[in-house]
């Protein structure tokens, strides 16, 4: 788009991923040529791509075990089911999260209990204690939504103190850490997504990590291992399955070798990609820092985040003013998502749109989300692109050049 007046615009897609690395393409072709896509279809002592992916990812995060599954949502549901969460149970989770999180809770028949969000987009610990007590829930599905990580020492300590089992939803924190401990390693299990819009891309897919042998044995069986579980590598020895193999249902949700083949080189590249994402993030941040009326997230020293998306708030603006900002940004090629819209749009829904869950009062979250804007930073952007996005946003947010349409 050309405004013909020297005003900057942007024309790249906010949803364009990088290509799959050539090693991944080659490995995928090999799987296609030999035809053994199912993880348990191996010849001789062949080790399948899926088992190698699990072994590699467990080593990356330092967990004893890893299970590759069909999606991030399946990963969360599988952990909950393996923990014994069932119909009528309550599961605590962030009020600010994405639809698959309450969906995974509902998939085992449980009810989500939403916990308030701070202005820094992390879970509110006081509200967590309060709602744990009032609901009687003993499980927290902690969603590191948009990559914002709470003080994990404090939160894990609080969960221990109040008798709540911590499970992490790391869909936006693959490759991140708090104080040197990888995200996904703070509770009993960590769930990851390998869906196209996350930090590695196999179209669909999920990974679960844990150090708990009994939990992993139940999850391997749940995922649909039949009696093939001895072929897993990042899993406990066959003895761990003896008692549970008779009583654990098969809820098929395996990953296949084709997806694992394209994921393995991406897991190796993750640290380098994290640096690229953070360079993009910092380039937007530097342009917006100090802008009047723009509230940026505080990122603590201990938070080793992955800046694959960027959030900011316009706390003094009304709903119609924010709609104006979104529209002005769109005219100049910047795709902003607003979490305050009354109707869910695209990927952006809120607790109020999940009406299968009991209605809950979340005034603090509503206030935060009503002025929260979000944009993606795919790796197909350069640092110059990110700076340009930051400059355009600074202008549309002050309602100056280009903001007045
Ligand atoms: C994407 C996502 C998931 C998992 O999604 P799948 O599409 O099922 O892989 C979980 N939590 C959050 C916050 C997400 O954004």
Measured from the CB, is residue 125 less than 6 Å from ligand 1? no
Ligand 1 centroid–CA 172 distance in Å is 8
| Structure confidence at residue 345 (pLDDT) | 81
DSSP 210-279: ES-HHHHHHHHHHHH-TT-GGG-SSS--GGGGTTGGGT------B--HHHHHHHHHHHHHHHHHHHHHHH
Dist. CA 69–CA 236, nearest whole Å: 17
Ligand 1 centroid–CA 88 distance in Å is 23
Measured from the CB, is residue 73 less than 6 Å from ligand 1? yes
Measured from the CB, is residue 193 less than 6 Å from ligand 1? yes
Q: How many residues does this entry show for the chain? A: 405
Q: Given the structure tokens 């640290």, which residue do they identify?
A: 271
Residue among 78, 100, 112, 339 whose CB has most ligand 1 atoms within 8 A, to mutate:
100
Measured from the CB, is residue 348 less than 6 Å from ligand 1? no
Measured from the CB, is residue 168 less than 6 Å from ligand 1? no
Measured from the CB, is residue 225 less than 6 Å from ligand 1? no
Q: What residue owns the CA closest to ligand 1's atom 15? A: 98
Angle at 189 between CA 52 and CA 159, to 5 degrees: 165
Phi and psi dihedrals of 26, rounded to 5?
A: -65, -45
Measured from the CB, is residue 194 less than 6 Å from ligand 1? no
Run of H or E residues at 314: none
Measured from the CB, is residue 150 less than 6 Å from ligand 1? no
* Residue 169 Cα: closest atom of ligand 1: 11
Burial 227-256, CB ≥16 within 10 A → b, else e: eebeebbbbbeeebbeeebeebeebebbbb
* Residue 72 Cα: closest atom of ligand 1: 9
Strand partners, 66: 209
Q: What residue owns the CA closest to ligand 1's atom 4? A: 72
Residue among 76, 104, 198 whose CB has most ligand 1 atoms within 8 A, to mutate:
198
* Collapsed DSSP state (helix, strand, coil) of residue 322: helix
Dist. CA 364–CA 131, nearest whole Å: 14
Which pTM was predicted? Answer: 0.96
| Structure confidence at residue 402 (pLDDT) | 40
Strand partners, 193: 206
Dist. CA 304–CA 251, nearest whole Å: 35
Q: What residue owns the CA closest to ligand 1's atom 11? A: 171
Phi and psi dihedrals of 60, rounded to 5?
A: -60, -45
Ligand 1 centroid–CA 259 distance in Å is 17
One digit per residue, the tens of pLDDT, for the chain of length 405 reads 455 567 899 999 999 999 999 999 999 999 999 999 999 999 999 999 999 999 999 999 999 999 999 999 999 999 999 999 999 999 999 999 999 999 999 999 999 999 999 999 999 999 999 999 999 999 999 999 999 999 999 999 999 999 999 999 999 999 999 999 999 999 999 999 999 999 999 999 999 999 999 999 999 999 999 999 999 999 999 999 999 999 999 999 999 999 999 999 999 999 999 999 999 999 999 999 989 899 999 999 999 999 999 999 999 999 999 999 999 999 999 999 999 888 888 878 889 899 999 999 999 999 999 999 999 999 999 999 999 999 999 999 987 444 344
DSSP 153-200: HHHHHHHHHHT-EEEEE-TT-TT-EETTEETT-SSSEEEEE-STTSSS
Q: What residue owns the CA closest to ligand 1's atom 5? A: 72
Q: At CB < 8 A and 24+ separation, what contacts does 127-132 make?
A: 127/364, 128/92, 128/155, 128/158, 128/162, 128/164, 129/158, 129/162, 131/92, 132/92, 132/162, 132/164
Measured from the CB, is residue 71 less than 6 Å from ligand 1? yes
Ligand 1 centroid–CA 103 distance in Å is 10
* Residue 146 Cα: closest atom of ligand 1: 13
Q: Given the structure tokens 């579980």, which residue do they identify?
A: 229
Ligand 1 centroid–CA 168 distance in Å is 12
Dist. CA 6–CA 261, nearest whole Å: 46
Residues 6+ apart with CB under 8 A from 397: 288, 291, 293, 294, 314, 325, 403
Determine contact, residues 215/29, Cβ cutoff 8 Å. no
pLDDT tens digits, residue range 3-33?
Answer: 556 789 999 999 999 999 999 999 999 999 9
Ligand 1 centroid–CA 234 distance in Å is 23
pLDDT tens digits, residue range 144-178?
Answer: 999 999 999 999 999 999 999 999 999 999 999 99
Q: Given the structure tokens 């190698």, which residue do they identify?
A: 52
| Structure confidence at residue 350 (pLDDT) | 87
Determine contact, residues 244/218, Cβ cutoff 8 Å. yes
Ligand 1 centroid–CA 188 distance in Å is 19
Phi and psi dihedrals of 206, rounded to 5?
A: -155, 160
């Amino acid at each position: 788009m050309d405004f013909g007046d020297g005003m900057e615009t942007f024309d790249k897609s906010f949803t364009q991923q990088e290509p799959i690395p050539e090693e991944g393409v080659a490995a995928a072709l090999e799987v296609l040529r030999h035809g053994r896509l199912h993880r348990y279809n191996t010849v001789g002592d062949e080790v399948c791509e899926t088992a190698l992916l699990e072994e590699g990812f467990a080593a990356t995060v330092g967990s004893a075990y890893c299970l590759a599954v069909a999606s991030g949502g399946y990963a969360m549901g599988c952990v909950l089911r393996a923990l014994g969460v069932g119909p009528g149970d309550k599961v605590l989770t962030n009020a600010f999260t994405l639809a698959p999180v309450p969906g995974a809770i509902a998939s085992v028949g449980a009810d989500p209990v939403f916990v308030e969000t701070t202005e820094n987009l992390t879970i509110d610990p006081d509200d967590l204690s309060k709602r744990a007590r009032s609901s009687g829930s003993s499980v927290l599905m902690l969603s590191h939504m948009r990559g914002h990580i709470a003080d994990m020492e404090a939160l894990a300590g609080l969960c221990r103190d109040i008798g709540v089992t911590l499970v992490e939803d790391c869909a936006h924190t693959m490759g991140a850490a708090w104080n040197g401990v990888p995200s996904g390693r703070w509770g009993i299990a960590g769930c990851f997504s390998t869906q196209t819009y996350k930090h590695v891309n196999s179209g669909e897919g999920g990974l679960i990590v844990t150090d708990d042998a009994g939990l992993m044995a139940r999850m391997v069986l749940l995922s649909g291992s039949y009696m093939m579980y001895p072929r897993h590598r990042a899993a406990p020895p066959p003895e761990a399955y003896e008692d549970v193999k008779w009583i654990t249902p098969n809820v098929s949700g395996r990953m296949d070798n084709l997806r694992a083949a394209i994921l393995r080189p991406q897991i190796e590249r993750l640290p380098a990609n994290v640096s690229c994402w953070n360079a993009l993030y910092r380039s937007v941040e530097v342009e917006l820092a100090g802008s009047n009326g723009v509230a940026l997230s505080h990122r603590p020293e201990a938070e080793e985040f992955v800046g694959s998306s960027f959030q900011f708030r316009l706390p003094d603006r009304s709903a119609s003013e924010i709609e104006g900002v979104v529209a002005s940004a769109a005219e100049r090629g910047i795709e902003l998502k607003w979490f305050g819209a009354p109707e869910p749009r695209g990927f952006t829904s809120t607790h109020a749109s999940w009406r299968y869950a009991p209605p809950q009062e979340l005034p603090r979250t509503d206030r935060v989300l009503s002025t929260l804007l979000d944009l993606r930073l795919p790796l197909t952007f350069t640092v110059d692109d990110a700076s340009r996005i930051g400059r355009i946003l600074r202008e549309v947010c002050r309602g100056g050049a280009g903001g007045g349409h």
